[in-house]
Amino acid sequence: MAPKCYIVPCIVCLQLYPAYRTDSKTCSGACRVRLKRHGPDRYRLFDRVAELFDTDPFLVRRARAVELLRPDLLDRIKAGALSLDECADAVAEALWQLALGDLTADLPPPDFSAPST
Ligand SMILES: [Zn+2]
């Protein structure tokens, strides 16, 4: 079964984001505008890598997300024991945990002690 969303780097700013379509290229409206303004030739990093390996640029972007978020899975993928689809949930979970960590990094630890009366 194909994943509901794919974690991939934006072709413009390289930040990871959840893509809900396999033809998604950018993370935001701002990056979409930048891509349109500067033209696709400026943002061909993943296309070039895909050409080198004779594969789909979207797969290269998905592999890059695994490399960044779950490098522990790379050996199993390279060995053919795990597909990108099979590890999609683990990659999405890692991005989610990373985002939660960023959001809660500045908060004081929760105080679970009983209130003193
Ligand atoms: Zn972007």
Domain ranges of the chain: 6-94
**Residues 1-20: pLDDT tens digits?**
677 889 999 999 999 999 99
Query: CA 10 to CA 41: how far, in whole Å?
Result: 15
Whole-structure pTM value: 0.82
pLDDT at 116: 65
Adjacent-strand bridge partners of 19:
6
28-42: burial string, b at 16+ Cβ within 10 Å, e else: eeebeebbeeeeeee
Neighbours of ion ligand 1 (CB under 5 A): 10, 12-13, 27, 31
Distance 111 CA to ligand 1 centre (A): 37
Give the model's pLDDT for residue 27.
Answer: 96
Residue 111 confidence (pLDDT): 72
